[in-house]
Structure 1
Amino acid sequence: MAHEVQLFEYILCISERALDFDESERGTFKRSYFLDYRTPTVLHLPLREKGISIAPTIHDKINEIIKAKLANGTSVPKEHGTSRGGLQLRRRRESSTLSIASSR
């Protein structure tokens, strides 16, 4: 592992001028070193998760359950995936999660 770090430091030092350190160009390379490129894409419809329908009669009960899970840490707000909000329920094993889309 130490050799990889040393190699990375060496490569970074010899190609230091290739990187932009100006905050306005953060995340880019200098155009004098690297040509612009375009990533080809295929026209498509983005994948969307369908929200779960909740019967109006149990809507308040579901809201209470969701608030309790958020409060005790067994659920966290979903920050990726769909443009709609959602929850990610934690199970006993951290590696497996269940996503639930909520209608906000």
Structure 2
Amino acid sequence: MSDAPAYVIANFTIEDKDEYRKYEKGFFPILKKHGGSFFTFDDNTKHLEGSDPRSGRMVIFQFPSEAAADAWYNDPEYQALSEHRRAGTSLVSLTMVHGLPPR
């Protein structure tokens, strides 16, 4: 699956807006550094079936590969920045999903 994109889905509740804004301000340059692109976010998702895993916000972004997603997550600059996310939110989940390989 090395040619397949990877998607990261975050599900969390913002508890400290000021702390979370510090995270948002630094997020996009690090995302782009690893070839990532922002897909969407939603504060009002609609649950259709099963146990509702969602919290306040769902965020989806994409990387060109699993390796790029891993490099982003393990980047020391991102890990330092993510302390603001950890301090400002309650995380339900941060999940990587593999996309379909190009045809």
User: Which protein, 1 or 2, shows the higher relative CO under an 8 Å CA cutoff with sep ≥ 6?
Assistant: 2
On whether the aligned pair clears a TM of 0.5, the verdict is: no
**Which TM-score band applies after superposition, normalised by the shorter structure?**
under 0.3
TM-score, scaled to structure 1: 0.28
Higher strand share: 2
Larger radius of gyration: 1
TM-score, scaled to structure 2: 0.28
